Structure 1
């Protein structure tokens, strides 16, 4: 009897969360994170580019895909009324929920329009919607896009790695990467909103269209780390 009661107590918070349906006016923070009636909500089962994420077009030029997709979602849902059923709470304290706009599943609509990806790590509900969007080459599927979870992992690695590579764009539009130990590394500032990027290997920088800085007096320890990571796969495209 005690065991049954203990299990019930442990499950009670999730049962309570699932029972509290949210509804209210939508304020789009980014493509997959909304305020619904003043409550911060992360849409369940999908993932969209980060607000500051840059992507490449077919010609190798960068474009602010994160800002673009957020604007598209705002045009669709900003100020509308949504009803959301919570399923979890994430580590940032956001309510993870399935949200409906009228009779439509908002997440399903975003995936079908190519504005988000099926987040298979947490749900397989939107796989068919993503396949349809890919087949029609709509939204993000018209270009090469690094899926958001890979982008975040690369950014986290770059921020914690002692040997970070800066992908700078010069005043003449040249894409140049700088490695710690080079002359201009410390003074180089990266602005992701203008298409500049961080890389954690030379392979990734070159594959994205950046060339090496001609200032090549590198630290040996940095080179060793780059050689170790150069053989790993850096990019995943959806």
Structure 2
């Protein structure tokens, strides 16, 4: 039987990068506190007007720096996806602060002003994302949700959700969790027009 101190221990261990601000630390899914990085599918615009896959770039750069390393994290909260919201350190360095300083992420001022000055310094120097035209990640997600809502109205009403453990589950209207299940296409979730389409794409049916 696990003791309470073990059950509620702060996340610690090897890092696996999901995206720039979402990691697995010692097998636990965490969201870095106080920052917001571009979504994996998000693009930015270079000064010459060409598109740049800045979301994939940020994820790959964070993985290059921190993937496989040992992190010590402090759990501060839990978000609506079930992830621990944490402040993480590697070799004594606050990694969220470093990501903002290097232009790999933004200060998430809606939740914290801790990294406000770090972002301003990166912006003044044009580091990383600040050297491009980039939409704030929160604004990008809102735009994607609006597009998703329009898609659902067209008749594709089956919700393809991804659980906090990465399990792909589809929910049909009338099922127990259908109404409270939210679809975030920036996380790989999607709408389906039929159960057969969902199964073919690798989703399984909700159990109730």
TM-score, L = length of structure 1: 0.60
Structure 1 residue 127, shift from structure 2 partner: 0.2
1:34 aligns to 2:13 (yes or no): no
1:125 to 114, 117, 121: 114
Is the 1:20–1:85 Cα contact (8 Å) retained in structure 2?
A: no
2:93 to 97, 104, 107: 104
Q: Post-superposition, which runs of at least 4 consecutive aligned residues in structure 1 deviate over 4 A?
A: none
What is the number of residues matched between the two proteins?
A: 149
Q: Radius of gyration: which is bigger?
A: 1
Unaligned runs of 5+ in 1: 1-15, 165-191, 193-238
What SS does structure 1 have at the residue aligned with 2:142?
Answer: helix
Unaligned runs of 5+ in 2: 155-185, 187-208
Distance in 1 between residues matched to 2:64 and 2:26, nearest whole Å:
18
**Paired position in structure 1 for 2:136:** 147
Deviation per CA, 1:35-57: give whole Å up to 9, x if none.
00000000000000001111111
What SS does structure 2 have at the residue aligned with 1:161?
Answer: helix
Deviation per CA, 1:87-123: give whole Å up to 9, x if none.
0101111000000111110000000000000000111
Larger relative helix fraction = 1
**Paired position in structure 2 for 1:58:** 47
Distance in 2 between residues matched to 1:22 and 1:68, nearest whole Å:
26
Distance in 2 between residues matched to 1:103 and 1:37, nearest whole Å:
17
Superposed CA RMSD? 2.0
